[in-house]
Amino acid sequence: MAKLQKGTFTGQAGGHGGDIKVALTTDGEHITDVKIVEQHETPHVGDNAFKWIPERIVHYQSLAVDAVSGASFTSRGIINASKQALQAAGGDLADWSQPVPKPPVVAKDQTVDVAIAGGGLTGLTMAAFAIKNGLKPLIVEKNDQVGGSFRYAAGAFATVGSKKVADNQIDDLINWVKELNTHGAKKEMDYDFLRYLEEHTGETFDELVDIAGSKPQIAQEAPYKFAVFGGGAFIVNALEKYIKDHGGLILPDTVITRINVDESGKHATGFAARNAAGCFTVTAKAVVIATGGESYGHKEDLVKTTPSLEKVHVFNEANPGNTGDGYGLLKEAGASFYEGNIYKNAFLDFGWPLRISYANVPDYSKAIVVNDQAKRFTNEAPFFALNLTTALYYEGSPRYYVIYDAAKMDQTFRKKLDAQKEDPKVVVHAGSVKELAEKLDLDPAALEQTVAGYNEACAKGEDEFGKDAAHLESLDGADGYYGLYTMPGSWGTIGGVKINRDMLVEQTDGSFFDNLYALGEMSTNELFSDFYIAGFSLANYSTEARLVAERLAAN
Ligand SMILES: Cc1cc2nc3c(=O)[nH]c(=O)nc-3n(C[C@H](O)[C@H](O)[C@H](O)COP(=O)(O)OP(=O)(O)OC[C@H]3O[C@@H](n4cnc5c(N)ncnc54)[C@H](O)[C@@H]3O)c2cc1C
């Protein structure tokens, strides 16, 4: 082994939320310890990276360890910071980059009550509720950690009728969704199905709070109430522990390759799976496909439904497992699908170095948003924040900018912008509209015309895109302007396979499988129009899972 200086050395590198600092200790010949001494990552999301990456570096005496999937930015931050620390200890990276073997996985045939494909929000809640109802579940998850897209979620739960948070808002909520859909929705949804699920969400919420052993709080009162009892990653970890503690099986790093159906063509016997150790079969009384949507790497499919997306860069925040694998498996098994999935809108995403996410986005409702032609195209203070992302999808511009009046914007946020290096893909500051346009590579005359037109609308209190007078604040530029690069974000997809009220999969002839279920983002067409609504996934997908588990136990 190559020589190192003995002692503890620090290194620092960018993670997801800022720099991660590590302290790497050597005895002169080996790496004996790696500790995280500073980090600003989203709570719980990087937990497995903080645990596994240092352990693996010390175990394998190598910095060529794999990132933890679903926490890749955090993983890379730890690895890069460790590399820096190792170099500070006099190490040559080439000597410390030996390939690392993959952790062992098991490939043996299994028989369980409920075979679950995918260990995201839906798969985990399905397994937990199966256990609560006396059934034995097995989850097969293609990533090395469970959680799927839900690991990144805020944990918002649109709850109705929960005893623990005492609320009852079903009519308000359904009416609000109907009102939302009058603001530019192009796609139909099934309000009765939504009502049916929402009516059961309170009980699901209370049961999940018990499983997680946490304290619920109402996090938002308007326009509809949602409660939180932990961030997505916290709930994921709690569910994983509950499942393992109660004899449920979770097989990570394993993919489903086929749904097995018997000669009747109506009954699933289980599925075929594959991992590094080989191929095997899972046999079960019920099969649940919970492999999520198809937002990752499937833009060509989404463009068919929304052609304007062709040129649009979409910040995809969903888990890399969100690939639509389950669609292919279900198609092969003879399932019937809705035409065309669409992106599930997220809040706006800004240039990466700004580290602004949906959770801490500055108020853009009094600014203007322009496309690559320097034109406004929508009301920037829409009915609901997520309508704006959808407007960006439909507009189809390859780049967008939010333009603020420097003197009128939030001054704390302004300081944050001033700390950035100017970059048209992040933020620029200018003394005049003309200068701003030049820095953003927009047509100066067009931007001047847009700003002048907007200021006129502010003076009249009347806007061509319907922005209300309270948000019409002129851009005078007394202290200049800021232009921020922004693009739509996506949390996944809406669409998928057809199911009935029992969540059984419909076949191409209109009949239904008798034990093959598709839950969660796999089958969301009925539950959403063009607008995704925060808190509805956790509420409705986990409720689907609970209802299926209870029905399976009753039969
Ligand atoms: C940033 C962000 C914030 C969000 N915030 C909220 C919120 O606060 N409240 C809320 O209700 N919703 C929220 N959501 C939405 C919510 O997280 C998703 O809708 C939800 O996770 C979907 O659950 P799912 O189990 O259907 O799919 P996923 O969570 O995507 O899980 C699917 C799983 O299946 C696995 N898989 C895929 N193919 C295979 C295969 N062939 N074999 C085995 N496994 C496979 C994937 O790896 C993945 O782990 C948020 C989403 C994001 C991205």
How many Å separate Cα 127 from the centre of its chain? 21
274-299 tens-digit pLDDT = 998 899 999 999 999 999 999 998 99
Give 49's pLDDT tier (boundaries 50, 70, 90). confident
Closest CA to 517 of 125, 219, 244, 50: 125
Average pLDDT of the chain to the nearest whole number? 92
Domain with CATH 3.50.50.60 in the chain: 110-343+490-554
Region 88-115: mean pLDDT is 88
CATH class of the domain defined by 110-343+490-554: alpha beta
What angle do helix axes 201-212 and 121-132 make, rounded to 10 degrees?
Answer: 80
CA distances from 245 to 97, 172, 236, 238 (A): 36, 39, 14, 10
pLDDT score for 238: 94
pLDDT score for 91: 94
| Cα gap 135→113, rounded to integer Å | 6
| Cα gap 446→371, rounded to integer Å | 11
What is the secondary structure of 379-447 as a DSSP string? -SS-SSHHHHHHHHHHH--S-EEEEEETTTS-HHHHHHHHTSPPBTTTEEEESSHHHHHHHHT--HHHH
Cβ atoms of residues 485 and 401 within 8 Å = yes
pLDDT score for 69: 74
Distance 275 CA to ligand 1 centre (A): 21
**Least trusted range by pLDDT, from 4-18, 253-267, 268-282:** 4-18
220-265 tens-digit pLDDT = 887 888 899 988 889 999 999 999 999 999 999 999 999 999 999 9
pLDDT score for 555: 87
Report which ligand 1 atom has the smallest distance to the Cα of 358. Answer: 1
Q: Which of 43-47, 102-106, 168-172, 176-180 has the highest mean pLDDT?
A: 176-180
323-382 tens-digit pLDDT = 999 999 999 999 999 988 999 988 888 887 887 765 667 788 899 999 999 999 999 999
Closest CA to 149 of 180, 186, 124: 124
pLDDT score for 184: 86
What angle do helix axes 201-212 and 536-554 make, rounded to 10 degrees?
Answer: 90
CB atoms within 10 A of CB 166: 9
Best residue among 125, 152, 291, 533 to mutate for probing ligand 1, ranked by most atoms within 8 Å of CB: 291
Percent with pLDDT over 90 in the chain? 76
Q: Looking at domain 347-487, does it have CATH number 2.40.50.100? A: no
Instruction: Flag whether pLDDT at 531 surpasses 70.
Output: yes
| Cα gap 155→165, rounded to integer Å | 15
Which residues on adjacent β-strands are paired with residue 429?
482
Q: What fold does the segment set 7-96 form as a domain?
A: Sufe protein. Chain: A (3.90.1010)
Best residue among 149, 361, 493 to mutate for probing ligand 1, ranked by most atoms within 8 Å of CB: 149
Cβ atoms of residues 11 and 81 within 8 Å = yes
Cβ atoms of residues 88 and 9 within 8 Å = yes
Cβ atoms of residues 374 and 536 within 8 Å = no
Distance 336 CA to ligand 1 centre (A): 22
Domain with CATH 3.90.1010.20 in the chain: 7-96
pLDDT score for 2: 64
| Cα gap 295→345, rounded to integer Å | 11
The pocket around ligand 1, CB under 6 angstroms, is made up of 117-123, 140-143, 148-150, 152-156, 255-256, 290-292, 317-319, 321-322, 325-326, 491-492, 520-522, 534-538, 541
State which H helix or E strand residue 84 sits in.
helix 72-88
Cβ atoms of residues 535 and 156 within 8 Å = yes
What is the secondary structure of 342-375 as a DSSP string? EEEE-S-EE-GGG---TTS----TTSEEE-TTS-
Helix/strand/coil (H/E/C) assignment for every residue in 491-552: EEEECEECECCCCEEEECCCCEEEEEEECHHHECHHHCCCCCCCCHHHHHHHHHHHHHHHHH
Please name the residue whose Cα sits nearest to atom 35 of ligand 1.
Answer: 118
| Cα gap 505→517, rounded to integer Å | 5
Which residues on adjacent β-strands are paired with residue 7?
26
Give 52's pLDDT tier (boundaries 50, 70, 90). confident
- The edge-to-edge listing of strands for the beta sheet with 31-38 is 7-14, 19-26, 31-38
- Please list, residue by residue across 389-415, b when 16 or more beta carbons sit within 10 angstroms of its beta carbon and e when fewer do: bbbbbbbbbebbbbbbbbebbeeebbe
More confident residue, 10 or 219: 10
Region 29-55: mean pLDDT is 85
Tell me 334's DSSP state.
T
Closest CA to 34 of 105, 96, 99: 96
Percent with pLDDT over 70 in the chain? 97
Best residue among 16, 150, 208 to mutate for probing ligand 1, ranked by most atoms within 8 Å of CB: 150
Six-digit token pair at 216?
Answer: 């619920």
Length of the chain, in residues: 555
Please name the residue whose Cα sits nearest to atom 42 of ligand 1.
Answer: 255
Q: Which of 53-62, 311-320, 355-364, 515-524 has the highest mean pLDDT?
A: 515-524
pLDDT score for 115: 98
| Cα gap 345→302, rounded to integer Å | 13
Cβ atoms of residues 398 and 312 within 8 Å = yes
CA distances from 10 to 5, 6, 66, 85, 192 (A): 13, 13, 21, 5, 58
pLDDT score for 192: 96
| Residue keyed to tokens 């080996």 | 30
Tell me 306's DSSP state.
-
Closest CA to 271 of 290, 296, 295, 246: 290
- Say what the ipTM of the complex is: 0.99
Cβ atoms of residues 370 and 447 within 8 Å = yes
